[in-house]
Structure formats: C-alpha cells, structure tokens
A = this chain, B = another copy of it.
C-alpha cells in the first residue's frame, strides 16, 4: 500500500439537472477523489481549505473513510468555495451560474509531514501554482504524479500550467481541452504532443464516450458504462481520477498494464457517481457493488476472436 496525497477543492455545489435541483451540498474535486480512492482502503491525505461555514460532520465523514484530514485547513471567518451549475437536457453541457472562490483565493497547501514521502500524488483541478506548490513540498520524487486540469487554466495561466505539466507523470484532461492545449484535432496527435511536454501517460476523458489511455505508441480504451439514465454528472471526472489514483496506490504498480486496470476502475466508480446527486451514491457504495460493476465492464468489452 502506497501513501496517496490528494490536493483539490472541498466545497459546496448547487446543482440543477433535468431531474431536479439541490441547495448547497457537499462537493469539490478532492472530496470526490478522496471518496473514490477510499474504496481501495488507501493511506490517503486530503489537502484543501474550507470556511467556518463548512459542516464539521462532512470532515468527520472523510476521516471515517480512512482519509487524513489534518491538512484540510479551516478558515473560521471565511466562506467555503461554492459552485452553482445547471445541466442541459443532454447532460453533456452545463452552464456555470455562480463561482465564489472565497477561502480558495488565498489557499496555501501544506503537505502533512508524514505524507511528504508519499509515492502517489493526485493533483486535483486547481490553480497550477497551487499544484506546483504541493510537488515542491515532497521530500522525495513520488513514483507517480497525476494531474487533472481544465481549459480555465489554459485560458488564464498557461505558462504556470506548462510548468506543472513538465513535472508530472500522468495528465487527465478532456477531449476538447486536449485539442485546445495542443492545437491538434486528432486525439492521437494531441496525446503525442502532450507527451513531449512532460507526462509519460496521457488520459483523455470523453465523458459518456469513455476514456483513452496513451503511452508511447500504445493506446487503451475504457468505455463509459451505458446507463439507463445519468442523474447528475457532477464529480464524475474527479471520481474517475480518484479511482485511478486509488487503485494505483493500492497496487503499487505503475506500469502501463496496471494503468489500464486503473482506468477501468476509475470508469466503474464514475458510473456510480452519476447515478445520484453530488456525492450521495459514493457515500453508500460498497466493494461488492464495485466488483459487480467491474464484471459488467468485462462483459461490455471483452471478446475472444481466434485469428487463423
């Protein structure tokens, strides 16, 4: 079992989908990543910041999942990061109705002393300088640094982003963002270009169309599970990343072969996340259900052709 450092937002989301709407509920990249990774009983720490308005029982819940929460800073006179969004009917696009950075504006991440030698670092979507700050606190080079990011940082902090990308092993990014970052329409070409920027592995997330893992001249594909209904996509990408990182931290094998398995686990966990609002489905998820879903992924993709 490797140690896993998770940095990202712990936040409030208010979500509207064709199926209903919520008030402020628990959300945030690090929350989803942590909940997914906790399925593997990892030795993980969440590094984040919340305001005095954040429910103590949500922090206790993360702790009960086996996560070190000592580096979730609580700014008592500050307010927690808040995002409000509305999904369109196709669930693939959404409008952001509100973003309040609040305490996140001055976030200064501190890696807990006993996690400075962690083997796996999962950098959730945040300002690239914050992500870089975490890498710089590590006392030895982690075996695997995974970065998630988004188009917002390409638009507003590209130079900083490129500095972080140079230092990581795996980037997870969606298809449109891969195209934006490289100017290449073909995802094969985009992935090749990103590999020259630093990462050995490129994971391109295509939402309901699955995810691609690129390494050298190899490519592996994990489909998204076709679902009767997608209730709320919020957090699916972070859950994917958390499942991916958690599986790797548990198995301590950072080979391409094992990364394939990790993206299947990530996809399986993400397929649960979208079944209910926010973190709801991830909170009551048990290992038996996860195993059953991995079997569904097998029957979805495995075939046996004898070549003559």
Chain A: residues with CB nearer than 8 A to chain B?
Answer: 89-90, 185-189, 206, 209-210, 212, 218-221, 223, 226-230, 260-261, 264-265, 291, 294-295, 298-305, 307
For the complex, give the distance between the alpha carbons of A188 and B229 in Å: 8
Which residues of B lie under 8 Å from residue A260 when comparing CB positions? 303
Residue in chain B with minimal CB distance to A290: B307
Partner of A89, one of B89, B185, B223, B227: B185
Contact: A261 with B220, CB < 8 Å?
Answer: no
For the complex, give the distance between the alpha carbons of A197 and B215 in Å: 44
Contact: A219 with B305, CB < 8 Å?
Answer: no
Which residues of B lie under 8 Å from residue A303 when comparing CB positions? 220, 260-261, 264, 301
Given contact pairs A261-B305, A305-B261, A221 touches B226 in the complex (Cβ within 8 A): yes
Contacts beyond the supplied A188-B226, A209-B209, A219-B226: 6 A-B pairs with Cβ under 8 Å: A89-B185, A186-B226, A212-B226, A220-B303, A264-B305, A265-B305
Which residues of B lie under 8 Å from residue A295 when comparing CB positions? 307
For the complex, give the distance between the alpha carbons of A223 and B209 in Å: 9
For the complex, give the distance between the alpha carbons of A210 and B206 in Å: 12
Which residues of B lie under 8 Å from residue A305 when comparing CB positions? 261, 264-265, 294, 298
Residue in chain B with minimal CB distance to A296: B219
Contact: A302 with B302, CB < 8 Å?
Answer: yes
Residue in chain B with minimal CB distance to A219: B226
The 15 listed contacts between A and B (C-beta, < 8 Å) are A186-B226, A186-B228, A186-B230, A209-B210, A210-B223, A220-B299, A221-B223, A221-B226, A261-B303, A264-B303, A291-B307, A295-B307, A298-B305, A301-B301, A302-B302
For the complex, give the distance between the alpha carbons of A307 and B295 in Å: 9
A291 to chain B: closest CB distance in Å? 5
